[in-house]
Chains A and B, each alone.
Chain A
Amino acid sequence: MKNGLKITAIVILIYVHIAGLLMDVPRLAILNETVRALYFHVPMWFGMVLLYVASSYYAIRYLRTQQPDDDVRAESFAHTGTAFGLLGIFTGMLWANYTWGSPWHGDPKQNGAAIALLVYLAYFVLRGSVENREQRARLSAVYNVFAFAAMVPLIFIIPRLTSSMHPGSGGNPGFNVYDLDSRMRFVFYPAVAGWFIVGWWMATLRYRLKKIKEKLDEREFA
């Protein structure tokens, strides 16, 4: 069953890459072919937010039950989420370079995304600077939950207050107004699902890797 899901994700992503690059897209002014970024850039953000949600979920669960495994899970999800976020920023910069004229345009969405990444990089710094394992787990879980709550206004409220050129905000047409016609939906939704499953997969791999390392360390000391 688990393998079935992973194979599905691989098949979906192969489909997304082929269809996303080759299929017809609507002709739009300025955007032109860059509208294809929708298939590769936007799923990164969906993936990042979902992975961070999972990370906070495990952090909360750690605080409730004090299971060390939950801490490792929270860390793995935050790690993968950050990787997705970085890819999201880079793909966004690539897109902005062609449509806005410069890779970093100081758009509220870009700034919010950069700050979200800063929060999670700070989370890793925090993890690095606490020696005691239990203490590290507790402190980083608290910071994880708190930072996630603090990020909500940053990502979901402030970009809506200020004018933004990003599609879908500041009065610009989002992907569901006209540019995401039904043809694009057939690629976009599978892309979101596929990337998310791959992200989940990566996080579980990292989790298992860490568990194995832990076991090896224990054996060394024993």
Chain B
Amino acid sequence: MTGRILVLLHKEWLLELRRKSVIAGLGLYLFSLVFICYLTFALHQQALNKVTWAALYWLTVLFSVVNAAAKSFIGERSGIFLYLYTVASAEQVLLAKLIYNTILSCLMALAGFVLFAVFIFNPVQDVYLFLLIVLLACAGFASSLTLISGIASKASNSNVLMAVLGFPVVISILLIAIRATRNALDGLGRSSSTDDVLILVAINAIAGAMAYILFPYIWRS
């Protein structure tokens, strides 16, 4: 089981390296988003307080992650699905995609953080807590959006559907992440954000479990 997943992960990684334009496109998308935020806000830096920073940051991350997760099923040639169907079970495919998307979204979130720190400013006081929240929220985004991408890839206007189906589902993760980030920005005691972190873990558990149970039904077609 784990061996198969590792092989699938390796395959994702190799494919990513071969289609560098895709990953470059994602990077550029992220950069453009941050740059737009910079142009519209940082010219009068006083206007941007920490709460706005957190909201802007998470919106940027969300939009990039939606695009990154969308490509996990949308745009793949149908031959690949057929091939994967013969060599691996639905759960293995899902877990491989999920882990890959989690890693990819974490990387994008971190890149986004660096860009935000360079162009706008870096208000994070409690870095470790912030990283933990980034990891948890990205895992949550990835597990919800991977399943949604699977659904949207089967429908006709996939790219629009990806946004329409995805946003309402991830909004609870987004809200909790913004709340928790505010605490990390203020450098409050860890105990004040324990609740938010636990809720994130719980939401991830729900989203992950639902994706794991439901994905085989999409995969079968």
Residues of A within 8 A of B (CB): 63, 115, 118-119, 122, 125-126, 129-131, 134-135, 138-139, 141-143, 145-147, 149-150, 152-154, 157-158, 161
**Shortest Cβ distance from B170 into chain A, in angstroms?**
8
Q: What 9 pairs between A and B have smallest CB-CB spacing?
A: A119-B168, A150-B169, A118-B168, A154-B172, A129-B155, A153-B172, A142-B214, A122-B164, A130-B155
Contacts of B171 in A (CB 8 A): 115, 154
Tell whether B132 is near chain A: CB-to-CB under 8 Å.
no
Tell whether B72 is near chain A: CB-to-CB under 8 Å.
no
Partner of A125, one of B161, B203, B210: B161
Partner of B206, one of A126, A130, A135, A153: A153
The docked-state distance in angstroms from the alpha carbon of A118 to that of B203 is 19
Given contacts A125-B161, A145-B214, A149-B206, contact A139 B172 (CB under 8 A): no
**Shortest Cβ distance from A67 into chain B, in angstroms?**
14
**Shortest Cβ distance from B76 into chain A, in angstroms?**
17
Tell whether B211 is near chain A: CB-to-CB under 8 Å.
yes
The docked-state distance in angstroms from the alpha carbon of A153 to that of B173 is 9
Given contacts A135-B221, A147-B169, contact A126 B151 (CB under 8 A): yes
Partner of A129, one of B161, B175, B202: B161
**Shortest Cβ distance from A48 into chain B, in angstroms?**
15
Contact: A142 with B151, CB < 8 Å? yes
Contact: A138 with B169, CB < 8 Å? no
The docked-state distance in angstroms from the alpha carbon of A135 to that of B165 is 17
29 A-B pairs whose Cβ atoms sit less than 8 Å apart in the complex: A63-B217, A119-B168, A122-B165, A125-B164, A126-B151, A126-B161, A130-B154, A130-B155, A135-B154, A138-B217, A139-B151, A142-B217, A142-B218, A143-B148, A143-B151, A143-B165, A146-B144, A146-B210, A147-B168, A147-B169, A149-B210, A150-B170, A150-B172, A150-B207, A153-B172, A153-B176, A158-B176, A161-B179, A161-B199
Contacts of A125 in B (CB 8 A): 161, 164-165
Contacts of B2 in A (CB 8 A): none
Contacts of A131 in B (CB 8 A): 156
The docked-state distance in angstroms from the alpha carbon of A131 to that of B157 is 11
Contact: A153 with B203, CB < 8 Å? yes
8 Å CB interface, B193-213 against A: 195, 199, 202-203, 206-207, 210-211
Contacts of A63 in B (CB 8 A): 214, 217
**Shortest Cβ distance from B71 into chain A, in angstroms?**
19
Tell whether B147 is near chain A: CB-to-CB under 8 Å.
yes
The docked-state distance in angstroms from the alpha carbon of A129 to that of B160 is 10
The docked-state distance in angstroms from the alpha carbon of A143 to that of B211 is 10
The docked-state distance in angstroms from the alpha carbon of A133 to that of B207 is 27
Contacts of A147 in B (CB 8 A): 168-169
Name A108's closest neighbour in chain B (CB-CB): B175
Contact: A146 with B221, CB < 8 Å? no
Contact: A139 with B218, CB < 8 Å? yes
The docked-state distance in angstroms from the alpha carbon of A63 to that of B170 is 23
